[in-house]
Amino acid sequence: MKKKVSESKSLESWIWDAACSIRGAKDAPKYKDYILPLIFAKRLCDVFDDELNRIAKEVGSRQKAFKLVKADHKLVRFYLPLMPGDPEEPVWSVIRKISDKIGEGVTTHMRAIARENPLLSGIIDRVDFNATTHGQRDLDDDRLSNLIEAISTKRLGLEDVEADIIGKSYEYLIRKFAEGGGQSAGEFYTPGEVAMIMAKVLDPEPGMEIYDPTCGSGGLLIKCELAMEEKMSLRSRSKYAPLKLYGQEYVPETWAMANMNMIIHDMEGEIEIGDTFKNPKFRKNGKLRTFDRVVANPMWNQDWFTETDYDSDELDRFPSGAGFPGKSSADWGWVQHMHASLNGKGRAAVVLDTGAASRGSGNAGTNKEKTVRQWFVDNDLIESVLYLPENLFYNTTAPGVVIFLNKAKPKERKGRIFLVNASQVFEKGDPKNFISEKGIEKIVRTLSGWKEEEKLSRIVDHAELKKNDYNISPSRYIHTSDAETYRPIAEIVEELNAIEAEARETDKALTEILRKLGV
């Protein structure tokens, strides 16, 4: 049985001690770029120690175990070329005992580990701990030594901590930096409880292929595997095929974190790097590859994709009948990409800004976002919509919605959408709210069973949605208190902003046409 981290120092306080050991050396968002690779290396070292100890029991000593694994790397998952002076000492002591030119020494060891393990190349050796800017060290040796010492205080072996060490560390650091109002408050991370709700509702089965086009540190993919494993344990199944996890991430440092997460969890998968919207990497025979499940939490309301980006697509992601969502928000463009990435029986879950469910509805004239949303409703692809509580996300107090797609809706659910307003299902937190285990189970049970409950959930047929001009926001149909008769102000403001943005876009296009006509 795994020891609880809280037996000594909590995981959170340990991570924060590590961050504080270099505080002031870099801006808050950069702390994790040093901390996480070292936590990853510490985990590798401690697991390597566990493997050496297992072999030593069979051959008589750690010294013999070192010789055996050096001769045959296949005896261990990752071979680390770190040999302590005393074989009884922990492997991590090789890094901990560097006393001169520490940045150079750590970088050299990281690169040596990557050379011995091609799977770790570009992941563990991405950071140069000896880097300088204008002749000044980015992280001086004194601070780096403090960081190594702080990380050394906790063992991260197989029986010491759960495998989600990188994910939990990343989540905790992002939250702490967001609290401090640092630049990292702008980073997007899906709260664990939202990710677990998505994973449990999608209900993946062993062997399925799961894809996240904006995978970040890999949290949504990993939650799908964990949800599947939990389900198998409840069925008393000890043997089953793991999920095959696929993701693409644009930011190199975050791509490296996703890979660390996958490796530490010993999960099967592939994480590609690059811009999914403009160049999706997962293709087959010149077409977009399709998957059993797709999950994503893209950055909300991206406004840097133009009509040209949609027009130049050669992968049939944006059907002519649906059109493009417009430049002011790519939310429904991401939904279109996810839909195109589903196989014939595929299901998807995507987290979006609440405005994506209602913008354009009730307006005079046309609205590009509403047109795409209408296409998804009319083609019976939306199974359910979940309205989340406020103040869950680290970089915004906005609630957000989760839209669930199903390309093979059961016959009894066709022509209808299940709406859940979970705005009141939360526990008050400081500074962020959270959904308790009981709340998670309540939401999952409601969504999975299409269970109607007053002030929580409703089944709405397409005729009613059409009557409301394709507004699919649960808050429009389910009021959580007797006094509530109006839509949330944040939703109305979002819609007004979208209308203004579209008007500016139309004015710009009209001005250009008039210019060409010489008017």
Sign of CA dihedral 171, 394, 270, 229: positive
Quote the pLDDT of residue 3. 42
| Angstrom distance (rounded) from CA 270 to CA 446 | 33
- Domain annotation for the chain: domains and CATH numbers: 5-182 (1.20.1260.30), 188-496 (3.40.50.150)
pLDDT at residue number 492: 65
Count other C-beta atoms under 10 Å from residue 115's C-beta: 12
Query: Tokens 């795994």 belong to which residue?
Result: 2
Q: Which of 214, 371, 413 is closest to 294 using CA atoms?
A: 214
Calpha distance 49→35 (Å, rounded): 21
Whether residue 431 has a cis bond before it, omega within 30° of 0? yes
For position 503, what pLDDT does the model report? 67
Alpha helices of 117-218 — where are they, by DSSP H? 141-152, 165-179, 192-202
Quick one: pLDDT at residue 7? 42
Tokens of residue 473, six digits: 């926001």
What pTM did the predictor assign?
Answer: 0.85
Residue 501 confidence (pLDDT): 67
> What does the pLDDT read at residue 162?
74
| Furthest-apart CA atoms within the chain: distance in Å | 91
Place of tokens 């000492």: 89
Record the tokens describing residue 507, joined without a space: 């004015």
Give the angle subtended at the CA of 430 by the CAs of 426 and 433, to the nearest 5°.
Answer: 20
* First and final C-alpha spacing in the chain: 78
What pLDDT, on a 0 to 100 scale, did the predictor assign at position 294? 98
Strands (E), 359-415: 382-387, 401-406
Tokens of 100: 């001169």
Model pLDDT, residue 364: 60
Backbone angles phi, psi at 338, to 5 degrees: -65, -40
The confidence score (pLDDT) of residue 481 equals 73
Q: Look at the block and give the residue holding tokens 């991430």.
A: 249
Q: pLDDT digit of tens for each residue in the chain (519 aa)?
A: 344 433 446 888 888 888 888 876 666 566 778 898 999 999 999 999 999 999 999 999 999 999 999 999 999 999 999 999 999 999 999 999 999 999 999 999 999 999 999 999 999 999 999 999 999 999 999 999 999 999 999 999 988 877 777 777 877 776 676 555 444 434 557 888 999 999 999 999 999 999 999 998 898 999 999 999 999 999 988 899 999 999 999 988 889 989 998 898 888 899 999 999 999 999 999 999 999 999 999 999 998 888 888 988 999 999 888 888 988 899 999 999 999 999 999 999 999 999 999 998 877 667 899 999 999 999 999 999 999 999 998 778 899 999 999 999 999 999 999 999 999 999 998 778 999 999 999 999 999 999 999 999 999 999 999 999 999 999 999 988 754 445 566 666 666 666 666 667 667 767 777 777 776
Q: What is the DSSP string of 470-518?
A: T---HHHH--SSTT--S--HHHHHHHHHHHHHHHHHHHHHHHHHHHHHT
- Our measurement of the distance from residue 328's CA atom to the centroid of its chain's CA atoms, rounded to an integer in Å, reads 23
CB 62 within 8 A of CB 87: yes
Backbone Cα Rg of the chain:
25
CA dihedral 252, 253, 256, 261 (to 10 degrees): -140
